Amino acid sequence: MTENNAAAHPHAFASDNWAGIHPEIFAALAAANIGHTVAYGGDPWTLEFQATARRIFGDEAVAFPVFNGSGANVLALQAALPRWGAVICAATAHVNTDETGAPEKTGGLKLLAVDTPDGKLTPELVEREAWGWGSKHRAQPLAVTISQTTELGTCYTPAEIRALAEHAHERGMLLHIDGSRLGGAATHLGTSLAAISSEAGADILSLGATKSGALGAEAVVVLRPDATPGIEYLRKINLQLASKMRFASAQLNALYGGDLWLRTAQHANAMAARLAAGLRAVEDPAVRIAFPVESNAVFVELPEEVARRAQDQFAFGAWPTRPGLYRLMCAFDTTEADVDELLALIRG
């Protein structure tokens, strides 16, 4: 997705990755910057995050802080599958469209992509690629991965995740969740983080933090102990083992140790809802919201001249697979004034 290089405004609607570090996370980083402590995860901050992960996701959860979301996804799936394993995913999934082939090239995994109408897999859609077990000519489907929220901004309900988990397990497959925006989904659904992951039957979770205001901090959370044999070794092989892990863990503690994940998600979602309401009120019939607004993402069809006018002030990008479709992302620091100014530009 290409982004306009608008510099007239300090905020953008291009991606929640464009936002800076949340002040509370910045403070946690500074507080962790004291003296010496054990490297490679033996520090008190990482031990605290382990306890936090168990409190949120259940007593069996084991957390592995990593540097980024793509690394978390590749590490989780590579640890869960043998060399001959394949992963069923939505065609729009981040692992399929935005990781430069890392699951295949770094993880040695075959992706089996399925077209979906709204970014969400269903048991019926999974069945399109869930076949060929025992055939020496086909990579073996051994995992299903879903994004929560999806790349189109839609949410899986707990019941939908449970159905996918049960379907996968019945066929000897695991369920992995790319939870880079898990907090936004839980906020939209009014559930806990566990309700849309461990309690719904998922086996492995990539837990996001960067999009909520962290700096280079994500985690793989193993929800079922035997799901990822060897992950403690693969993390180093995949260049995701931090020597000064306390700084990643301090950020994760700041976000998930209390309610910061909830507050950041509530705000970003609220700004997206405000934006969507304003777009629906635009009188131009060519301005149309394309997908349900269930997170901090708004996908909208815009005439080219309208998009260009708005991009003169705010950076945002055209969605690459559908002409005339644009993605507008809100973040923890998006303001009502930002939203209203963008709406005024779209209205002309």
For the chain, domain boundaries:
16-20+261-347, 36-258
Instruction: Tell me which fold the domain 36-258 belongs to.
Output: Aspartate Aminotransferase; domain 2 (3.40.640)
Mean pLDDT, the chain, rounded, equals 95
Residues 6+ apart with CB under 8 A from 281: none
| pLDDT for the residue 10 | 77
Distance (Å, whole) CA 338 – CA 20: 16
pLDDT at 1 exceeding the cut of 50 = no
User: How buried is residue 42: exposed, middle or buried, by Cβ count under 10 Å (0-12/13-18/19+)?
Assistant: exposed
List of residues 6+ apart from 105 with CB closer than 8 A: none
Rounded distance, CA 189 to CA 197, Å?
A: 13
**Percent of the chain residues past pLDDT 70, beyond the cut:** 97
pLDDT tens-digit map of 98-109: 999 999 999 999
| 2 pLDDT higher than 50 | no
Looking at the predicted structure, is the pLDDT value of residue 226 above 80? yes
Beta bridge partners of 329: 297
**Span 126-146, mean pLDDT?**
97
CA nearest neighbour of 90 among 109, 117, 71? 117
User: How far, in Å, are 36, 82, 166, 223, 295 from residue 197 at the CA level?
Assistant: 35, 23, 13, 8, 17
Q: Is 266 helix (H, G, I), strand (E, B) or coil?
A: helix
**Which architecture characterizes domain 16-20+261-347 according to CATH?**
Alpha-Beta Complex (3.90)
Terminal-residue alpha carbon distance, the chain:
25
Q: Strands 218-222 and 204-207: what pairing?
A: antiparallel
Which residue has 């996908």 as its token pair?
Answer: 299
What would the mean pLDDT of 180-200 be, rounded to a whole number? 98
pTM, rounded to two decimals: 0.95
pLDDT value of position 62: 98
Q: pLDDT tens-digit profile of 60-89? A: 999 999 999 999 999 999 999 999 999 999
Beta bridge partners of 144: 88, 175
Which amino acid appears at position 161 of this protein? I
Type of residue found at 218: E
